Amino acid sequence: MHINKYIKKLFLLLPLVFAGQVLLANTPAGAKPGFEITTNLILSIFSVVLLAIIILLAVTLKSAFKVYKEKMKSSQALKSLFIAGLSLLSIHALQAQANPEDAVKAVVYQEAEITKYILYIILLVEVVVIFYMVKMIKFFTGIEKVETEKAVRKPLVNWGNIWYRMNKFRPIEEEADIDTGHSYDGIRELNNITPPWFVAGFALSILFGIGYMWRYHVSESAPLQIEEYNREVAEAKLKIEEYLKTQANNVDENTVTMLDDAGIAAGKALFTANCVACHGDQAQGAGVGPNLTDEFWLHGGSIHDVFKSIKYGWPEQGMKAWKEDFSPTQIAQLASFIRSQHGKQIPGAKEPQGDKYVEEESAAAVTDSTKTE
Amino acid sequence: MELQKFQYDNKLPKMFAVACIFWGVIGMLAGVLAAFQLAFPILNFNTEFTTFGRVRPIHTNAVIFAFVGNGIFTAVYYSIPRLLKTPMWSNLLGKIHFWGWQLIIVAAALTLALGFTSGKEYAELEWPIDIAITLIWVVFGINMFGTILTRRERHLYVAIWFFIGSWVTVALLHIVNSFEIPVSFMKSYSWYAGVQDALVQWWYGHNAVAFFLTTPYLGMMYYFLPKAANRPIYSYKLSIVHFWSLIFLYIWAGPHHLLYTALPDWAQSLGTVFSIMLLLPSWGGMLNGLFTLRGAWDKVRVDPILKFFVVAVTCYGMSTFEGPMMSLKNVNAISHYSDWTVAHVHIGALGWNGFMTFGMLYWLFPKMYNTKLYSTKLAAKHFWIGTLGIVLYAVPMYWAAFRSYFMMKAFTPEGQLQYQFMDVVQTIVPFYILRAIGGTLFLIGVVMMVWNLYKTAKQGAFVATEQAEAPALPKQYEKPAKKMHWHSVIERRPVTLLVLSLIVVGIGGLVEMVPTFLVKTNIPTIKSVKPYTPLELQGRDIYISEGCYNCHSQMIRPFRYEVARYGEYSKAGEFVYDHPFQWGSKRTGPDLARIGGKYPDSWHFNHMLEPTSMAPGSIMPKYPWLFEKEIPVGTTNSKIHAMRKMGVPYADGYEAKAVDDLKAQAGEIATRLKKEKIEIDSNKQIIALIAYLQRVGKDIKVSDKVETE
């Protein structure tokens, strides 16, 4: 009997969980400074809590099953337990998969909404599993049986009945009336009508087809793919411009200046993640990319030149344009980092390529405006 | 009327069934290997025969043509004689059919592993095998039609309509798509180029799914499901409606594989609307199958055979719902090139084809061996592990598809792509592992089945022939007193049924193909697009031979995030010399339509030798043999000649110069590499491949540049 109490307690827990979720949906994500609580974090904690509940329930279920087995000694139950165990397992798998993701997510998905939805799904699945397990426990302990015997309620909507009518099913007993009389190797065929919803659906899909062709190719009121693309690009352009107006991000090759140490550090991180394959781990040059620490430059060595080389690339020589990958600020960080590496003597560095570049501290701005051409 | 005695042969159905199981295991094994290769590139084993680019075609071909193909023939050779009360027309043709088909499969597996491929998905086999397939298919057709024409049953049952419709359409598809011009014993070029080749290929590819994986299996369902459930078919009328609407509509839907590509908009739209219209006719089969089980659902609970059938039919319903949805442009924008498509086809292949086949085999073996199934319990276990396998296969793939979509299209507020392609690859790899586990589970289930069927055969005695008797068909048809459905007229005229099917399936193909081939405005020409140089052409053939198209597309769709990532979107006019087209269907790696000039030669050199050296985290296999093997210079002349025959404007007599040009260009590349301190002979295959890669998509880059400056 103590199992009963167990279940009741768990039931008390459930609304708490839900309340928590509702609350959390209303709290703005990660608001407090210094102590970062993101929605995802809360959701993750909840999913872990729910998992704990599931494990607890599993233990209960196991003992409930023992009780049941003694009572019934039926093989049917074993199968049910197998299914229950299976769903439990799959939840474990989901969870195990979700957790390492959390770590990655923190980096990759900082902004992405998707994680939140994934977590919601995990939570939902967990709640469903909890309900399912509670039901199983009730079934094994015999509570379910009593209840169903007590209450013979009529369901609000009789789906079976609606489905029956939708298909215009005829009772199986009347089958003989609609037998076509065909018998192929003993296979008989009935003369049931095609389900009315099938016919209606088919007609609708044809109407859809006509409407679709009409919209795209006769009235031309819907955009074809190239128009759609042009619109997309135009909209994005507007949005970016709007955004940049509010940002101090608007540097380009003419206005770029050497950044401070923080900027250089950020540039170093970017360099390590993106550039070392061609330019070597210390910018000393490698198979493809030239040495960036010596005085010789293929395309000019000022911060403006370097910025430009990164931004537009020199595709014929193997340097790709990075403007689609990095923001202007990021390019400035990179350029600053590269300039900061100047003069480092790195053993095994690549031989000089290009022209010797002499620093023109004072006249830089003037000469560069002509140089960029 | 006098009863005639005759025999049903069980030997051929048994042979086909055994072949089906054997190739099924092999094909799925290849699939599991391919799945693990995507997560662990080391499993490519650094040999050319075992790289993903060759294993995947082996997997797809083995599963489609060997596993499902032999499954179809098992069903046909078992059911048709019984439905028509006559033995198969010719035992000899049956044997030729069987051994011919198995030989084709062996040849296919060997040649694909050796890199002989036409580079068109699910039609990779080279021209001698294409001819062999045609011949064996005709043998099959003659045998089937001979049986139908010597029948003792006036009317044809719906299963046979499906077999006939499938046979004639597959013949049509195979012949039209295999138009190719041989350049050597195992090398040919597709007769069509670029956009047209893409249209023909996906008209074929989609309808291979339709008329090889679907309609014959509906025939199978119509025989084995009512047999196993011992219930009458729910609705004869529904059979008629969904048979004709299905075969008519299916053929139109091919262009939905080419949405947002350079295919003309009107053809794309046809693909979309016909796919939507296809939904209910497809469901007709599912409904008729499931409703047939009315009154037998209690049996479903205990009989694993019926369980297999129910899940198979449900999977069929799921994937035929999903298919039309994926044909909507906005959904296709997400699903195309992604793992979603892979999940979708595997719901169909594992669920529908796999489970239908398993159900049939579990039903057939006890019958043929006059015994009971060795272990019903084991079959039930197979059912559960198989189902779990499907779920574990599909769910991670859906998940992966959505994740990669959201990552691919993410821009920073400044307007830069938020994620590099490699970031996406890295995120997807764990899902590849899960998927591979799902596939492995499914395969384990199959192994359980093999054991079960083997034990069943062991405990029983094979019934080689079954005696039967029936009256001969009177020469003159006498109308029965009872009024017959109008459709019965067609059912007693098999040739009419055959011709009508051909006409019905012919319409869609003609309406889509003829304008695309004849109307110039559909493929606006671009002046700057020039034929490939001899070296590039050789490089392209290496690209095809290594199966690069299995992971890399060459078709940039007009989306902001694709243009930002890969370059200017692809134009129809760029592909006019591409025999065959190489647009691909899945992006495990990035699109290569504008790879030309993006990296230096040395980058490609290093990347092909050791992909992770240039792209850390890459899951691409290594291609060391390209640095050993030599360019087959001797084939250059015949290749140029074949191309000119198909309208590629090489000057007359260019053959004489071609080899010199090839060597000169190869020398240039070797010199350029030397500057980067890379020593390689200019006659190695890698040189040709670099030449090709550096050319792809460059012809219109001129105008692209104008825009950026």
pTM of the entire predicted model:
0.80
Kindly state whether residues B501 and B619 are assigned to the same domain.
Answer: no
What are the structure tokens assigned to B102, written together?
Answer: 């198995």
Q: Are residues B242 and B293 in the same domain?
A: yes
Contacts of B330 in chain A (CB under 8 A): none
Q: How far B112 CA lies from chain A's nearest CA (Å)?
A: 34
A141 and A275 part of one domain: no
Tell me the pLDDT tens digit for each residue of B647-698: 999 999 999 999 999 999 999 999 999 988 899 999 999 999 999 999 999 9
What is the average pLDDT value for chain A, to the nearest integer? 75
Q: How far does B183 lie from chain A, in Å, by closest CA?
A: 34
Percent of chain B at pLDDT exceeding 90: 91
Q: Which of A90, A125, A150 is the last residue of a domain?
A: A150
How far A13 CA lies from chain B's nearest CA (Å)?
30
Give the pLDDT confidence of A163-221 residue by residue, as tens digits.
888 888 888 888 888 998 889 999 999 999 999 999 999 999 999 999 999 999 999 88
| Partner residue facing A213 (CB), from B273, B415, B615 | B273
Expressed as residue numbers, the domain containing B137 is 3-322+483-512
A12 belongs to a structural domain: yes
User: B237 and A191: CB-CB below 8 Å?
Assistant: yes
Q: Hunting for tokens 């899945």 — which residue is that?
A: B586
The answer on A272 and A136 residing in a single domain is no
- The pLDDT score that the predictor gives to residue A18 is 53
Comparing B160 with A126, the larger pLDDT belongs to: B160
Report pLDDT for A98. 44
Question: Mutate which of A170, A205, A237 to disrupt the B interface (most B C-beta within 10 Å)?
Answer: A205
Chain A residues 107-166 within an 8 A CB cutoff of chain B? 108, 112, 114
pLDDT digits (tens, 9 = 90+) for A344-363: 888 878 888 887 887 655 44
Q: Which residues have CB under 8 Å from A245's CB, separation 6+?
A: none
Q: What is the pLDDT of residues A128-174, one digit of tens each?
A: 888 888 887 777 776 655 555 555 566 677 887 888 888 888 888 88
Q: Percent of chain B scored above 70 by pLDDT?
A: 99
Q: Tens digits of per-residue pLDDT, B89-107?
A: 999 999 999 999 999 999 9
Can you give the C-alpha Rg of chain A in angstroms?
Answer: 34
Flag if A187 and B233 touch (Cβ within 8 Å): yes
% of chain A with per-residue pLDDT over 70: 69
Residues B506 and B581 in one domain: no
Confidence of residue A372 (pLDDT cuts 50, 70, 90): very low
Q: For residue A326, what pLDDT is reported?
A: 85
Which is nearest to B264 in space by CA: B177, B217, B196, B183? B196
Same domain, A134 and A15: yes
Does residue A366 fall inside a structural domain? Answer: no
HEC profile for B429-498?
A: HHHHHHHHHHHHHHHHHHHHHHHHHHHHHHHCCCCCEEEEEEECCCCCCCCCCCCCCCCHHHHCCHHHHH
Residues of B in contact with A373 (CB under 8 A): none
Residue A138 lies in a domain: yes
The domain that holds A273 is classified in CATH as: 1.10.760.10
| Residue B469 at interface with chain A, using a CB cutoff of 8 Å | no
CATH number of the domain bearing residue B127 = 1.20.210.10
Alpha carbons within 13 angstroms on the beta-carbon side of residue A325 total 22
Q: Is the pLDDT score of B708 beyond 50?
A: no
Least trusted range by pLDDT, from A322-336, B125-139, B169-183: A322-336
Give B640-695 as a DSSP string: HHHHHHTT--PPTTTHHHHHHHHHHHHHHHHHHHHHTT----TTBHHHHHHHHHTT
A146 and A279 share a domain? Answer: no
Q: How confident is the model at residue A27 (pLDDT cuts 50, 70, 90)?
A: very low
How many domains would you assign to chain A?
Answer: 2
The per-residue pLDDT for A12 is: 54
Same domain (yes/no): B147, B261: yes
Mutate to test the interface with B, among A194, A206, A278, A373 (most CBs of B within 10 A): A194
Q: Which residues of A touch B270 (CB under 8 A)?
A: 213
Interface membership of A323 toward B (CB under 8 Å): yes
Of all residues in chain B, the one with the smallest CA distance to A109 is B407
Total structural domains within chain B: 2
Min distance A191 CA to chain B CA atoms (Å): 5
Size of interface A-B (CB pairs under 8 A): 190
3-state secondary structure of A290: coil
Position A162 in a domain = no
- Put simply, the chain A residues between 156 and 195 with a CB less than 8 A from any chain B CB are 167, 169, 172, 175, 179-182, 184-195
How confident is the model at residue B701, as a pLDDT? 57
Report the sign of the C-alpha dihedral through residues A321, A326, A329, A333, in that order.
negative
CA distance B399 to chain A (A): 9
B181 occurs within a structural domain: yes
pLDDT at B168: 96
Distance from CA of A223 to the nearest CA of B (A): 11
Residue B461 lies in a domain: no
Whether B614 and B500 share a structural domain: no
Residue B604: which CATH number? Answer: 1.10.760.10
Does residue B491 register a pLDDT over 60?
yes
pLDDT per residue over A250-281, tens digit each? 788 888 888 888 889 889 888 888 888 788 88
Mean pLDDT of all residues in chain B?
Answer: 94
Residues of B numbered 229-248 whose beta carbons fall under 8 angstroms of chain A's beta carbons: which are they? Answer: 232-239, 241, 245
The number of helix segments (H) and strand segments (E) in chain A equals 13, 4
Cβ <8 Å between B416 and A247: no
Q: Which range, of A93-107, A260-274, B440-454, averages the lowest pLDDT? A: A93-107
A280, A140: one domain: no
Note every long-range contact of B42-51, with CB atoms under 8 Å and residues 24 or more positions apart, other chains counting. B44/B621, B44/B622, B46/B621, B46/B622, B46/B624, B47/B625, B48/B115, B48/B546, B48/B623, B48/B625, B49/B113, B49/B114, B50/B113, B51/B546, B51/B547, B51/B621, B51/B623
Q: Are residues B540 and B580 in the same domain?
A: yes
Confidence of residue A14 (pLDDT cuts 50, 70, 90): low
Shared domain for B496 and B630, answered yes or no, is no
What is the value of ipTM here, to two decimals?
0.91
B298 and B212 within one domain? yes
Look at B269 and A217 and tell me if their CB atoms are within 8 Å.
Answer: yes
* Per-residue pLDDT tens digits for B19-38: 999 999 999 999 999 999 99
Give the span between the Cα atoms of A166 and A149, in whole angstroms: 31
- Worst-scoring range by mean pLDDT, A144-158, B124-138, B269-283, B580-594? A144-158
Q: Mark yes or no for CB contact A190/B236 under 8 Å.
A: yes
Which of A239-253, B54-68, B122-136, B214-228 is predicted least confidently?
A: A239-253
Domain of residue A284, residue span? 261-360
Q: A131, A150, A169 — which closes off a domain?
A: A150
Chain B residues close to A202, C-beta within 8 Å: 245, 277, 280-281
Residues in chain B closer than 8 A to A114 (CB atoms): 402-403, 406
Residue B594 shares a structural domain with residue B654: yes
B416-451 CB burial, b ≥16 within 10 A, e <16: bbbbbbbbbbbbbebbbbbbbbbbbbbbbbbebbbe
Q: In the prediction, which pLDDT does A3 show?
A: 53
CB distance B388–A206 less than 8 Å? no
What is the Cα–Cα distance from B425 to A286, expressed in whole angstroms? 25
Mean pLDDT is lowest, of A122-131, B451-460, B592-601, for: A122-131
User: Could you tell me if B173 and B75 lie in one domain?
Assistant: yes
Please check whether residues B573 and B642 belong to one and the same domain. Answer: yes
A6/A146 same-domain check = yes
Q: Does B60 lie in the same domain as B169? A: yes
Interhelix angle for B534-545 vs B636-645, to 10°?
90
Whether the link from the prior residue into B580 is cis, omega within 30° of 0, is yes
Domain endpoint, select from A150, A185, A218: A150
Chain B interface mutation, best of A111, A184, A252, highest count of B Cβ atoms under 10 Å:
A184
Minimum CA–CA partner of A199 in chain B: B280
Whether residue B304 lies inside any domain: the answer is yes
Q: pLDDT band for A7, please (50, 70, 90 cuts).
A: low
SS (H, E, C) B303-362: CHHHHHHHHHHHHHHHHHHHHHHHCCHHHHHHHCECHHHHHHHHHHHHHHHHHHHHHHHH
Report CB contact under 8 Å: B419, A108.
yes
Mean pLDDT of B395-417: 92
B402 part of contact set with chain A, CB < 8 Å = yes
Determine contact: B321 vs chain A, CB below 8 A: no
